[in-house]
Structure 1
Amino acid sequence: MTDSLSIRLASPAQVEQIRDLTLRAYAKWVPITPRKPRPMTADYDVAVRENRFDCLYEDDQFVGLIETVQQGDELMIVNVAIDPDHQGRGFGTRLMKHAEEIARVASLRATRLYTNKLMTENIVLYERLGYRFEKETHHDLGTVVHMVRPVS
């Protein structure tokens, strides 16, 4: 990871950038899951107004994002997306740790997320970061794994 990384809050003017980066980041999952992953079908015009988006920059290049929303005493991680050319460099982990810090500063009790059960490499990463399996829910188009991590 380089020292030239910065995280900045997104502005509504970045909707197209956010949508484009998310579509590119999740494209690799389309052949694996029975449908497009939910972040690929989200309405970002609404999401950018209602949720928090923290954008990761390497120098001045937009390379990743994390979308979060407070739900009661927890912070839901809705979306973590890294530009495909920058994946595998620890940027997703950096953004996950950033979300955990947001939750800690807000005195929330946990961060939580869910992912498609077929996205096994993501589940392995989340477990390595301290997330624990909470439950599975089954939908007509697949199985969703819910995971939670207490804020320390």
Structure 2
Amino acid sequence: MIRPATDDDADAVTTIVKTAFEGYIPRMGVAPIPMVMDYRAAIAAGKVWVAGDPIAGLVLLEDEPDSLLLDVLAVSPDAQGRGIGAALLAFTEAEARARGFDRITLYTNAAMTENIAYYPRHGYVETGRETVEDRHRVFFRKDLT
């Protein structure tokens, strides 16, 4: 079950993001951006959806001018490998279509090699790379048409 997150979910969402991303700190030398985001504010703005009961994963989605941005996808390490990430990606596609978008975009850090392998298995195509300060970003797109 995937549903909009509520304020009561904020602590669980923050914990899942922390545990899902903390392993990347040694590779990146800095906390990944999802670890420092204000999830209570994102939930209040209606941008976060959660999966599972208890919550095992989440997505944070942002409307962009020409696409739906998959800003954060996180699955609890205890729940990884059970299809929750794939279900959240399918939800994101349905949500993009419902909002009138024919494209989903996202970016990840180059040090997150698991993500760079994961997204193409789900139809995403790498569209570019850039370095901003100390972060090396890899951009992906999925066209829904």
Match of 1:75 in 2: 68
Alignment of 1:117-136 (within 5 A): 117-136=110-129
Match of 1:142 in 2: 135
1:51: how far off? 4.7
User: Deviations along 1:86-125, whole A, 9 cap, x unmatched?
Assistant: 1122211110111011111222020010000111111111
1:50: how far off? 2.7
1:108 to 101, 112, 117: 101
4+ aligned runs moved over 2 Å, structure 1: none
Work out whether residues 10 and 39 of structure 2, in 8 Å CA contact, stay in contact via their aligned partners in 1: yes
Whole-Å separation in 2 of the counterparts to 1:29 and 1:68: 22
C-alpha change, 1:141 and 1:27, in structure 2 (3 Å) is same
Match of 2:55 in 1: 62
How high is the TM-score relative to the length of structure 1?
0.89
Work out whether residues 136 and 144 of structure 1, in 8 Å CA contact, stay in contact via their aligned partners in 2: yes
User: Deviations along 1:27-74, whole A, 9 cap, x unmatched?
Assistant: 1211211211101011223222235211101xx311110110111231
Whole-Å separation in 1 of the counterparts to 2:44 and 2:134: 28
- Output the aligned Cα RMSD: 1.3
Count of residues in Structure 1 that have an aligned counterpart in Structure 2? 145
The aligned amino acid for 1:79 is V
More strand by share: 1
Whole-Å separation in 1 of the counterparts to 2:81 and 2:27: 19
State the SS of the aligned residue for 1:31.
helix
Match of 1:27 in 2: 22
Which moves more between the two structures, 28-37 or 95-104?
28-37
Identity over the aligned pairs, expressed in percent?
Answer: 29
Q: Does 1:15 align with 2:41?
A: no
How high is the TM-score relative to the length of structure 2?
0.93
